[in-house]
Structure 1
Amino acid sequence: MSARPQIVPGESAPGAPESPRRLRRVVGAVVADVTPLRLSAGYRRLWAGAMISSLGQQMTALAVAVEAYQLTGSNFSVGLVGLFFLGPLIFFGLVGGAIADSMDRRKLGLITSTGLSVMSLVLAVQAVLELRQVWLLYAVVAAQSAFFAVNSPTRAAMIPRLLPAEHLPAANALSMLSMTVSMTAGPLLAGLVIGVWDAQTVYIVDALGFGLALYAMWRLPSMPPVREGPAGRASVAEGFRYLRTRPNVRMTFMADIAAMAFGMPRALFPAVAAAWYGGDAKTVGLLAAAPAVGGFLGALFSGWLGRVRYQGRAVILSIVAWGLAIAAFGTTRWLWLGLLFLAVAGCADTISGVFRNTILQVATPDDMRGRLAGVFTVVVAGGPRLGDFGSGSIATLTSERVAVIGGGLACVVAVLALTARWRGFWRYDARNPTP
């Protein structure tokens, strides 16, 4: 009587078809790598809390804009919401990173998450009481921005403490995935909730979301600073001195500024929707959503990113692809093709963001991660505002077509010029990270 063949766990039985196994290998190599979520309970909690709170923030942003317009009937007043958000973001983004390097990051995350939750409750209370004061909206938005500007670099600096370096590309891809989901689904959900109920319901949902994020933060382990030191002007200056002498880390910021300042046509979408496509507000919404959809797909099919060794050149090539896709968007008058080019641009931006964040986390010592994550927050949030101003100004002097095509090509020229100046970034090797 012959012995039964032994089956090794994870292998198919003898004679079993190879197709399912091959399909699983292909899917595992392409679809987003969720290993960080399985590997670290702390990262899993941090990721889930960030996704829930980000979704609530996107919903609240739309609700505040709608309420500001209802109170004033002025587009300028709605635009001021962005200004009140940007000012505190720049200041507290830099200072917040320094604070994150000088105290327990878990404790700081708890403080800022509590502050964000309280601000959402204040928005809900003022809506319930029908105070109808636009200045109160501006004040709360400014306070939210300050808490967010400290909370964001704190969270970013936590990730390398929770995961090994080889899993950071996958972790950053998952973070980009959650962000694009929030950016896409948040405004849609907010519009639905406001239409069925009202803005105060959105604020309450946001406060509950931050409550869940607060619980997730509370479950994290303590993360005291590696090196004790004062958090203040000297500490912020120390971060900039470090950045000045680390060309590869510095290039992650400069490359993103080149992409956003020259190649971001977001401010032109209303004019483009009407002039190029004969559309309305729905068309504007499609144009605004297309990069986020592309970014979502880029993050969803990011399983291959963890195997990229030369991450610097991946950043450069992604930004070149972004600029060329934006320029191509400026050449077409077919809406479906324009949306496709914008989606390609969003996908390229996501890939660039994954590697820029990974380089920043791996090549930077832990006692500098908070400060440089603060700079990253300011650059990521402030760059598109520079792009809005630049594209709007150029379109006013010339035309929307010149602004979009010229901006995309200028982005390509700028990032190639930066690469020519600091050639070491092209050779940046993930196996031998050099800041």
Structure 2
Amino acid sequence: KKGNKAYMDKFRKSAEKCEKVIAWYPNSRWMDDAIYLLGLNFYEQDQFDRAERKFRELLEYYPDSPFAPWSYLYLGKIYIKRGKVSDAMFYLTMAKKSGDKRVIEEVTKEELKVYLEDGEHEKVINLGNEYIKKYPAKKEEIMKLIADAYLSKGDTTRAMFYYKKTMGENTPDSLKIKLGEIYMGKNMPDSAISLLKGINNPDAKILLAKAYVKTGMPDSAIASIEEIARIRRDKYSLISNILLSEIYQAKGDTTGMMKTLKKAKGLSVDDPLKEFALRKYNYYIDLERSKTDSTFNDSILAEDLYLYAEALYLYAGKPDEAIRVFLKLEREYPEFYLRKKSMFARAYLYLNYLHDTLSALKLLDTITTFQDTSIYVKKARELLNEIQKNTTNSKTTE
């Protein structure tokens, strides 16, 4: 499989042989072969700058080589990976001019990738269905791109239909993970479990753990990601430790929750989730201290709770939970100086994440009744007026 050591070693050794041919036999009639193969080996090793230099070298010195169209094709692929759509299309067009059927088949597939990268989902779907009939040898790859287009536009039902049509004995793990994510989005964790079990991939194991949690199987979830959380020191470890902390919390295991949160916040990983782990850890540490320390200042705990609620939607992407924690803060600390900010944050989440305009309006209206000139009372009035104005304009238009 691409990415594993044996696969990469194969191309590394091949590249070394090509370099020797170029160095020892500079006048060889097979020089263009060697240059092209060297570029291809660099490409397969994800060394795109080196690959580009070799493909350009071939085009400069051997423009009539049978490998010239393929060099244009791979230059197009390199620029797709770099996200440079116009450059990619230039090289793909040059490749297509060769008239070589095999090159053209590859180009059509790569063009669909460019359109997908450019957000032209309908174009990918329409052209893709045409190309399936025209180039049946590329049917499976084209169907995956059509599925990707449907997924990008949010049509998970059609995406799932096309993904399933491409599945067989050698279905790549990446496709199974995509389908697993769709199943989870459709609240079908059992289907996700049957698909992901046995895949030795951190993305798959984390998704599998989430599916186990959904089906009420926390011990199986722990078993799925425990090793990732313990051994790795990367983003996967961060995600796994945070997920484990939530599982332990649901089981009432405070020690397990704190241990995994501590591991998560201590990882040398540049990711927003680390800030979430830190804030959650700080809140629960201070919560335990407040239970035994009679002199503990409640305002510190209130600030911790606010920061934790904020992190739930800013870094963890959990607006529902953030609302619950903000509400807990307002009820338990009604005199807290950040109460109005907390209420405004809830209104913002209702409006922009949950699309619950009625709840947002009620909350904003409550904030405006406070008899002070704080910035959040002012912001609430402005937002309330804006919503009411938009509602009036909408009704007038209708």
Q: TM-score range by the shorter chain?
A: under 0.3
TM-score (norm 1): 0.21
Q: Which has the larger radius of gyration?
A: 2
Give the structure, 1 or 2, with the largest relative contact order (CA under 8 Å, sep 6 or more).
1
TM-score (norm 2): 0.22
